[in-house]
Amino acid sequence: MAVDSGTTTFVTGAGGFIGAELIRELTSRGHRVAGLADSIDAATRLRQIGATAVMGDLLVPGRWQDEIAADWVFHLASPSLPAPAGRRPRGASVASARLLMDAHLLDALAAGATRRIVYVADARCFGRSGPQPIAEDDEMSGPPRCPTTALDRLDGYIVSGLPIVTALPAWVYGNGSWFRERVMAPILGGRRVVQFGNVNPWISPIHVRDTARALVHLAERGAVGGRYFVVNSDPIRMSEFATTFARLANRPLRVWRLPAVASRFPGVASHVPGDDAVFSNIRLRGTGFRFLYPTIEQGLEQVVGALYE
């Protein structure tokens, strides 16, 4: 798909870890970017990174639906639901909220002239991999909180003519989000990194910058109706995040190992895999995508180097 520097783009989840990096990538290419913001603080952050803020909430229909017309739309937002203290939102609630968010966005786009919609979901919803990497056409068997029904429902929108490409990142790392909180901050602060049980599964990582680049690449070259895992070629052991970062930052690594059952606490499980979760990127590479940081070593060298720039 040919694009020019005046391409207009709308981003949901724009203030998140991946969303903010995506906006930087798009604006660096000359795109005019608008992002959905649900608060004044979120709108301020979007303007600081070069986007126009559109006030609204995907869970609530509103005037924001009249302001989303764009050449490209990137749908990164996921539900953030309240729950009783000490508990996670129920999986059914999360899935229902995602369906509602999708409907409010995609129905509003149905009558427009959007050239490409990149729908972003979590590769880990495909569940554990077993001896072979998971491919995009395999059956999803992830936990109840994963919006598998939402992914299945995309087929109807595609048949109706919406140009949707689905991108599926897995373990996205960089200076932010879970990686900053659970790896960088404790190591740089001289504290212990929390690990759970004796499980050290194989996982598929990808640097946040490569994630953003891959999303733009899929808007340009992804096939409508196609699903693409957005991961590096080489899987790593989960513990390699901490050991490699500590070595490159020249800091000691101290570990606090908790029982595996502690990983079930709210806010923890989404960052603690219990089984191997390795995904194939053959389809993504087949579109011509090339990684800036194809290995965890190269990616974490960038993360550490940026700390001292």
Domain assignments of the chain as residue spans, ordered by start: 8-173+205-235+278-293
Measured CA to CA, the distance from residue 254 to residue 194 in angstroms comes to 9
CB 74 within 8 A of CB 22: yes
For residue 272, how many other CB atoms are within 10 A of its CB?
A: 21
**pLDDT-based confidence at residue 88 (cuts at 50, 70, 90):** very low
List beta partners, residue 11.
35, 74
- Mean pLDDT, rounded, of the chain: 88
Residue bearing tokens 């395999």: 138
Residue scoring higher pLDDT (277 or 259) = 277
Q: For residue 21, is pLDDT > 60?
A: yes
pTM (global) more than 0.75: yes
Superfamily of domain 8-173+205-235+278-293: NAD(P)-binding Rossmann-like Domain (3.40.50.720)
Residue bearing tokens 């957005």: 230
List beta partners, residue 33.
9
**pLDDT-based confidence at residue 79 (cuts at 50, 70, 90):** low
101 contacts: CB under 8 Å, gap ≥ 6 = 12, 58, 59, 77, 79
Measured CA to CA, the distance from residue 47 to residue 34 in angstroms comes to 9
CB 229 within 8 A of CB 168: yes
CB 100 within 8 A of CB 59: yes
Mean pLDDT value of segment 11-39: 96
Residue scoring higher pLDDT (73 or 93) = 73
Residue 250 is classified by DSSP as: T
For residue 237, how many other CB atoms are within 10 A of its CB?
A: 13
φ, ψ (nearest 5 deg) of residue 36: -80, 130
Q: Among 201-215, 244-258, 271-285, where is mean pLDDT lowest?
A: 271-285
φ, ψ (nearest 5 deg) of residue 189: -95, 5
87 contacts: CB under 8 Å, gap ≥ 6 = 266
Residue scoring higher pLDDT (144 or 168) = 168
**pLDDT-based confidence at residue 151 (cuts at 50, 70, 90):** confident
**pLDDT-based confidence at residue 126 (cuts at 50, 70, 90):** confident
